[in-house]
A and B are shown apart, each in its own frame.
Chain A
Amino acid sequence: KAGVTQTPRYLIKTRGQQVTLSCSPISGHRSVSWYQQTPGQGLQFLFEYFSETQRNKGNFPGRFSGRQFSNSRSEMNVSTLELGDSALYLCASSRGTGNTGELFFGEGSRLTVL
């Protein structure tokens, strides 16, 4: 069974640009959540999608957005990049949004903003 796939794995952008990251969940999983991980702040929740609807949102500025498609694949977008957006962005999928579902994480997309 294929795991959670995130693309691209590594990317470099400059300040002011925008970036789109992609996440393909495990087959049959309908919930996708996104996290930002930095050495200073640790793992921080960005947002969660279930059946193409955003269910929860973390405390991030509006430059961070996401969406989920009908096949459960998800994308997140960061506009007007800042140096502080350099981080590992992790996607996780689960069967549902209930508490019984464990999260399966991808290996992440490492973004460097110059």
Chain B
Amino acid sequence: DAKTTQPNSMESNEEEPVHLPCNHSTISGTDYIHWYRQLPSQGPEYVIHGLTSNVNNRMASLAIAEDRKSSTLILHRATLRDAAVYYCILRDGARGQNFVFGPGTRLSVLP
């Protein structure tokens, strides 16, 4: 399985944008980039996913580098509720593999 690398932790101030990086230098052409987050005492929840083009939804934006070896999850205005562990995961769309969660990035949001 292709691996991802994320910082262990990050801090942000409330109402400011947050850029969460993810490196995936061994990504293959059929790997989709998925982001999930896990709030305290809850199961993970889907945030966003993409293949090659940048993606936007009501929760966040996903910016994918042109060579696809890295991506950035963007929270446009962080709130206290966004404090969570964020997981960047690659999943092979051709083989339908299971999701492999790494340690993720623990995001703290300061009021």
Contact = CB atoms under 8 A, between A and B. Distances in A.
Interface of A: 4, 33, 35, 42-45, 48, 55-56, 58, 90, 92, 97-100, 102-108
Chain A interface, >50% SS class: strand
Contacts of B45: 104-105
Interface in B29-51: 32, 34, 36, 41-46, 49
A41 to B, nearest CB: 10
Contacts, number: 52
B102 interface: yes
Interface of B: 32, 34, 36, 41-46, 49, 87, 91-93, 96-104
A42 B101 contact: yes
Nearest to A55: B96
Contacts of B100: 45
Given A56-B98, A58-B98, A99 B93 contact: yes
A103 B93 contact: no
